[in-house]
Structure 1
Amino acid sequence: MTSPAPTSPRQLMRHPHGWIALGLGGGLAPFAPGTFGSMVAVLLWALFVIAAAPDMTLRLVFLAAAIALCTWSADWASRRLQRKDPGCIVSDELAGQWLALLCVPDAWPWWLAAFVLFRIFDIGKPWPMRRLERLPGGIGIVADDLAAGVYAALILVAARVLISP
């Protein structure tokens, strides 16, 4: 029995997992889909923080649930596209960017810094991030971006300590 033909990225948008995996369509950008996915993540974070989550406990619960859902959706989409980690899947950018944003004050300059640092680490993939891509399925898709989020968060926390009086 032959496997079905791969789905196109646009066809994924017909399913809720596709909306998540493609970052509400950010992954369909004709260039730099990861950057567009990260921009979507910052905008969603701003809406979430403004609307519902001044409390750090709620933010942590949201982040844990989002990481699980982003991983599941990335796995779902990669199986339908029949590719390991296609560029159109940006739910990994959502999860990693949100991890970096968790560690900064609720102010646009900090959010911009989190965005820039996350993108630098996500694109550059310093050790051992590239190894994390070898993990299976959605876990391998998301793990390296979570590491980029951790690296960005560490620098941002250090900057906060140095800037604070």
Structure 2
Amino acid sequence: MTNHHSRIDPDVTLLFSHPLHFLSLGLGTGLFPKAPGTAGTLLGFPLFWAIIYLPLVQQWLALILLFVLGIWCCAFTGRALGVSDHGAIVWDEIVAMAAILVTVPMTWIWWVAAFVLFRLFDIWKPFPISWADKHIGGGFGVMLDDGLAAAMAILVLQLMQR
């Protein structure tokens, strides 16, 4: 049992110790030594490809369920690590990226634009992302700031499509 106030570094042992850790650590991409958020974001593509054949309403329902699952698994791993939004927790990036991909044309150029814009907003954190990142904690806070970054990327991508 991890002391609530201690901070540990995630590793392969933690990754495989519980299914929620496996998800929140992005199937291991969150353990990448450089840019784990970017590595995790790339997993949004296979998630998107897994749901793309569902009707649009069911795609969004699946993403909402995965967002809610993310609140739970990110909070669980955050408690184990002793910090709520550890850089190794990347489930939020995975779900957010898949959500963005649902909104753009099925071409590689739009996928690259979606990826770049999401990473830009996720790293830069303009308002209201920065506010949510600072003031809303726990699993919901982890998921929300990336949800907001996704919403901003979707907005820009929709404007670009017009």
- 1:8 Cα deviation after fit: 4.4
1:71 and 1:91 in contact (8 A); partners too: no
* Map 1:61-76 → 2, pairs under 5 A: 61-76=61-76
Kindly report which structure 2 residues correspond to 1:4-19, keeping only aligned pairs within 5 A, or say none.
Answer: 8-10=9-11, 11-14=13-16, 15-19=18-22
State the shift of 1:84 in Å.
Answer: 2.4
Q: 1:46: Cα distance to partner?
A: 2.2
Partner of 1:48: 51
Any idea what the Cα deviations from partners look like across 1:76-114, whole Å, max 9, x if unmatched?
A: 100011112110000111122122122112222222211
| Cα deviations by residue, 1:143-165 (Å, 9 ceiling, x for unpaired) | 1110100000001111122xxxx
Residue 3 of structure 1 and its aligned partner are, at CA, apart by 3.0
Equivalent AA in structure 2 for residue 158 of structure 1 = L
Deviates more, 1:25-34 or 1:127-136: 127-136
Q: Which runs of 5+ in 2 are unaligned?
A: none
The 1-side partners of 2:58 and 2:106 are apart by 15
User: CA shift at 1:47, angstroms?
Assistant: 3.6
Q: Look up the match of 1:28.
A: 31
Asked if 1:159 corresponds to 2:142, the answer is no
User: The residue matched to 1:80 in structure 2 has which SS?
Assistant: helix
Structure 1 equivalent of residue 146 of structure 2: 145
Q: TM-score, normalised by structure 1?
A: 0.87
How many residue pairs match? The answer is 157
Higher mean displacement: 98-107 or 23-32: 98-107
1:105 corresponds in structure 2 to 105
Structure 1 position 56, deviation (Å): 0.4
Separation in 1, partners of 2:3, 2:117: 40
Give yes or no for contact 1:18–1:77 (8 Å, CA) kept in 2. Answer: yes
Q: How does 1:116-155 map to 2 (within 5 A)?
A: 116-133=116-133, 134-155=135-156
- Note the aligned Cα RMSD (angstroms): 1.8
Offset of residue 7 of structure 1: 5.5
Aligned-pair CA distance for 1:142? 1.3
| Alpha-carbon separation, structure 1, partners of 2:60 and 2:87 | 27
Runs of 4+ in 1 over 4 A off after TM superposition: 4-8
